[in-house]
Amino acid sequence: MKAGVFIVLFGEQSFEQALDTAKAAGLQSVEIGTGAYPGTAHVNAQNIVNDEAAIKRIRDAVDSRGLTISALSCHGNPLHPNKEIADAHHNDFVATVKLAGKLGVDTVITFSGCPGDSENSKYPNWVTCPWPDDFLTILEWQWNEIAIPYWKAQSAFCREHGVRVAIEAHPGFLVYNTETALRLRNEAGDNIGVNFDPSHLFWQGMDPIECVKALGSSIYHVHAKDTKIDKRNVALNGVLDTKHYGNILNRSFVFRTVGYGHDDEFWKDLVSILRVVGYDGTISIEHEDGIMSVNEGFNKAASFLNSLILQESAGEMWWA
């Protein structure tokens, strides 16, 4: 198992500087943003997918530092009812898959997407309850008419390029929990799996350890990001929270760097149970901590994660 980082965190640095930052922190791999919501601070997949010299520069820069690329990430909403947005995110995904194939990277990360409520919609419509019955009608249409046909086609396309898709479960999209992740995989293709990010599960009231057991071999990539639950705000308002992420005192939850939402025991158990279900890939730091600076949050996460993986590799961790 390797410790890595999603280098969009270092968007103010050049690509080579970002790699140096990761290397200096003792990490072994990098996850690279290539379009859609992560942006293209370091790599624009659409611009370079047919530029062999640019592709070689990326490969050489990574290899010369003894690093590997854990995944290319283009988290987006290719099912968006606004065709302009959907097409842009789809094109980013297509270019990213092709680029991954040329770089020898086997994993591309994105979201499942979320359509609107009909062909006439302007905005996505995330259904969260079964009544009134209108909501189930919307959900059936979203899955059967939009999501499943789209992802079946993408599954076939990815196979042509030797790439698998890691869908990140996230509220606001059709895939947001264990059940929906497995449904998309079962319906669309077994090269569609999961980018496992426990931070999005914590605030929904889920147990990431149990989720790992259920997801098993469908876990293709892992993010290291924590969540701090504010018990008083949850008691008052529940876990669905639309307040700005900067409104930390009044939110039901906030994202934290690893170890600042849940203790060492949880993270030790997570690393161990990932190993038990057969995962031996990268655990990639994704820093979205609104309290710590980029440097502080990243360095704390890197030190914490390196220590956990070193212990696990040395056989000092156990799972009961």
- The proportion of the chain whose per-residue pLDDT surpasses 70, expressed as a percent, equals 97
In a domain, 252, yes or no: no
Q: Mean pLDDT, to the nearest integer, of 276-298?
A: 96
Domain total in the chain:
1
User: What is the pLDDT confidence band of residue 192, given thresholds at 50, 70 and 90?
Assistant: very high
pLDDT for res 313: 65
Nearest to 214 by CA among 202, 224, 206, 223: 206
Asked if pLDDT for residue 253 goes beyond 60, the answer is yes
pLDDT value at 248 more than 50: yes
According to the model, what pLDDT value does residue 319 have?
A: 45
List pLDDT tens digits, range 202-212: 999 999 999 99
253 in any annotated domain = no
User: Which pTM was predicted?
Assistant: 0.96
Looking at the chain, the whole-number percentage of residues with pLDDT higher than 90 is 96
Q: How confident is the model at residue 318 (pLDDT cuts 50, 70, 90)?
A: very low
Q: Are strands 226-229 and 253-256 parallel, antiparallel or unpaired?
A: antiparallel
Mean pLDDT computed over 12-34: 98
Reported as a pLDDT band with limits 50, 70 and 90, residue 305 is very high
pLDDT-based confidence at 309, cuts 50/70/90? Answer: confident
Which pLDDT value is given to residue 314? 59
pLDDT tens for each residue of 220-241: 999 999 999 999 999 999 999 9
Averaged pLDDT for residues 38-56: 97
Residue 142 lies in a domain: yes
Q: Which of 128, 156, 159 is nearest to 142 (CA)?
A: 128
Q: What is the pLDDT of residue 315?
A: 58
Decide if 236 is inside a domain. Answer: no
In a domain, 249, yes or no: no
| CA–CA gap between residue 200 and residue 181 (Å, rounded) | 13
Query: What is the pLDDT at residue 310?
Result: 79
Statement: residue 84 has pLDDT above 90? yes
Rounded CA separation 320/115 (Å): 42
In a domain, 247, yes or no: no
With 90 as the cut, is the pLDDT of residue 311 above it?
no
Q: Which domain holds residue 187?
A: 2-225+259-313
Averaged confidence pLDDT in the chain: 96
For residue 282, the domain's CATH number is: 3.20.20.150
